[in-house]
Amino acid sequence: MKTKLLTLILFSLLMTMGMTNCSKNEFDPNDYVTSILTGEYGKSGPYHLYVTENGIPLDDYGYVRFDSKDLTVADFRFVKVIPGVSKKEFKNVPLIETEEGITFTIEYTQKNHTVSITGIVDFGEMSIDIKM
């Protein structure tokens, strides 16, 4: 009887130790917001993308992949979004947090022309304007 009781107590202690060491008990709001914003933004799906070129809405475009770990910088992959470019990636783009959402600006040179992409990411939506 004593052996069974001692075994039961020992087993209970081991289970308690194992459960407390394996899980994350603290809620980190930055992890939550980052997980909501990271994803592929397109015409359909849970993340919506709205694209304009020089202020005029575009009807035919692909998607933008947005990845950020701490919402201070992000990696972008534009697939069939920039006119004349099938795929373009940008790394470590600075992000600015505003009341409207997370904003960004990307500038690069394409065929001796400056291309500027400005955008905003908010819960489940991304809007970008491409100036060529």
The pLDDT tens digits for 21-80 are 554 555 454 555 556 678 899 998 889 999 999 999 999 999 999 998 888 999 999 999
Percent of the chain with pLDDT over 70: 73
| Count: domains in the chain | 1
Domain range for 39 is: 28-131
**Is residue 59 one of the residues assigned to a domain?**
yes
The string over 76-115, giving b where at least 16 C-beta atoms fall within 10 Å of a residue's C-beta and e elsewhere, is bbbbebbeeeeebeeeebebeeeeebbebebeeeeeeeeb
| Mean of per-residue pLDDT scores for the chain | 83
**Is residue 45 one of the residues assigned to a domain?**
yes
8 A C-beta contact, residue 114 and residue 107? yes
pLDDT for 2 equals 59
**Is residue 19 one of the residues assigned to a domain?**
no
**Is residue 78 one of the residues assigned to a domain?**
yes
pLDDT for 34 equals 58
**Is residue 13 one of the residues assigned to a domain?**
no
Higher pLDDT, 15 or 61: 61
**Is residue 97 one of the residues assigned to a domain?**
yes
Higher pLDDT, 51 or 10: 51
The string over 30-56, giving b where at least 16 C-beta atoms fall within 10 Å of a residue's C-beta and e elsewhere, is eeeebeebbbbbbeeeebebbbebeee
Identify which of 102, 129, 111 has the alpha carbon closest to the alpha carbon of residue 38: 102
**Is residue 11 one of the residues assigned to a domain?**
no
**Is residue 121 one of the residues assigned to a domain?**
yes
